[in-house]
Structure 1
Amino acid sequence: MLIRADDALLLVVDLQDRLMPALAEGDATARHALDLMATAAELDVPIVVSEHCVDKLGGSLPTVRDAAHATGATIVNKTHFSCASEPGFLGMLERLGRRQVVLVGAEAHVCVMQTGLSLLAAGHAVFVVADAVASRDPAQKALALQRLQGAGAAVVSSEMVMFEWLGCANHPAFRQVLPRIKRG
């Protein structure tokens, strides 16, 4: 199944101030997530950003928060590891009317994985962006991606998502998105 801009939403999970420095490849993860946020905004793909236990982990990275405000993203505060366990979260997704969830964030083996598994159980198509998720331990990330894939999620790259959202080289936003794709 292709990821379609008209049926997808981007879910950015817990890319937060105090968590990111501890993550393996945290800087690259944030960069890919920000590229996807910018592309989603250009293609009218709704964006949801979660923040876990803000009092302990701080808010989103300033770059993520700035991008969220600039794109009109919905910011959700949470205490559950799975976004889908937060009261009203699944209802919010239903109101957005998108069945495909492109999932990025941290930590891959905790909040990202539990969110992905819950969304699959709720009937959503889940696409986990391997280069835009991170854990403190790369082995934990690998296990999370393996488990998500085994449960039915597609493991993809940020470049795959951007090309699939565009659909063709004649898309009006192709020239704006291309530098992000080339940056890799």
Structure 2
Amino acid sequence: MKGKSYEAGLKGELMDGRMNATFSVFNVERTGTAVLDERYAENYSLWGASCCYLPQGKVSSRGFDVEVGGEVSSGWQLAAGYTFNQTRDKTEGTVFSSITPKHLFKLSTVYTLPGALSKWRVGGSGRIQSTQYVSGSVTNSSGESQPYKFTQDGYATWDLMLQYRFDPTWTLSPEPEQCL
């Protein structure tokens, strides 16, 4: 595969330098992506896949990314970001990577408790992404082509964080599954 990647963006400060913001657009073009050689029958088995591929595909990935993060107020940090990514198989005129989320939103925050509790930090984060799917067809033992499509609906994951600072170099945070 060979490819070219172009990205342009802006970075800046907000709130007297306490917050940073970035915005970028990207375009990735690649050629030589493996495509199934149609001269050979598709043969999917338990231990293998079709035998032969050719380096002919043309794939593009285009989108933008925006992120904002920093200290919103004393002891409170916040970061948020959104990515839009659209991948296309330019050879076939279809979606190329249906397992790459088209929409991705990330949010995280951490707060250092005030006063006598300042050795404690609490926080959380979330990641929300759009639907993903895999589709195609497979040839069954009778030689018939059977289409398939597996879909993973959009979903969110959430994390919580608790941290205690013993001194400037040592902190303790329980493992996520222990925070239940």
Which TM-score band (shorter chain)?
under 0.3
Higher strand share: 2
Higher helix share: 1
Structure showing greater radius of gyration is: 2
* TM-score normalised per structure 1: 0.19
The structure whose RCO (Cα within 8 Å, separation 6+) is larger is 1
